């Protein structure tokens, strides 16, 4: 088996910890690239995406903290439409600072609980 990267090891560790804490709650998954940031609310029991938001749309552009804040607000609105109020936050292998933290804070302000 090939040696896993630090990112992949961190991602697996975060997901494993989430499974034990989730208790059937949907998962707010965050992915970021150099150009964009994406957020999805996923129901792992059904394997379906309940809500999604990203900077790919016309509402937010770029890959800065302001764009991440906008995506956080958008995912909170989309979650309310889907009837989701409580989630577990899945940061993947990304550290919780900068854009990831801005997205999480904006989602909390928008009414999501985690």
Q: Is the pLDDT of residue 60 over 80?
A: no
Using the predicted structure, report yes or no on whether residue 57 has a pLDDT greater than 80. Answer: no
Q: What's the predicted TM-score (pTM) here?
A: 0.91
Question: Residue 59: pLDDT above 70?
Answer: no
114: in domain: no
Report the pLDDT value the prediction gives residue 110, as an integer from 0 to 100: 96
Where in the sequence is the domain holding 76, given as residue range(s)?
Answer: 6-16+23-109
pLDDT at 58: 63
Flag whether 33 is in a domain. Answer: yes
Work out the percent of the chain whose per-residue pLDDT is above 90: 85
How many other β-carbons are positioned within 10 Å of the β-carbon of residue 7?
A: 12
CATH code of the domain in which 61 resides: 3.30.420.100
Domain count, the chain: 1
Under 8 Å CB-to-CB from 107, ≥6 apart: which residues? 28, 39, 72, 73, 75, 76, 79, 114
Question: Do 26 and 50 touch, CB atoms closer than 8 A?
Answer: yes
Would 81 be classed as within a structural domain? yes
pLDDT of residue 49: 97
Residue 27 lies in a domain: yes
Strands (E), 1-114: 27-32, 37-43, 48-54, 88-90
Give the CA radius of gyration of the chain: 14
Lowest mean pLDDT among 8-12, 21-25, 46-50: 21-25
């Amino acid at each position: 088996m090939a040696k896993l990267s630090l990112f992949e090891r961190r991602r697996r560790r975060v997901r494993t910890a989430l499974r034990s804490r989730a208790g059937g709650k949907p998962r707010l998954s965050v992915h970021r690239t150099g150009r964009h940031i994406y957020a999805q609310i996923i129901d792992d029991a059904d394997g379906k995406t309940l809500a999604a938001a990203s900077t790919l749309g016309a509402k937010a552009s770029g890959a800065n903290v302001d764009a991440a804040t906008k995506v956080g607000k958008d995912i909170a609105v989309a979650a309310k439409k889907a009837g989701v109020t409580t989630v577990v936050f899945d940061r993947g292998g990304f550290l919780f600072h900068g854009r990831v933290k801005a997205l999480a804070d904006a989602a909390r302000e928008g009414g999501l609980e985690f």
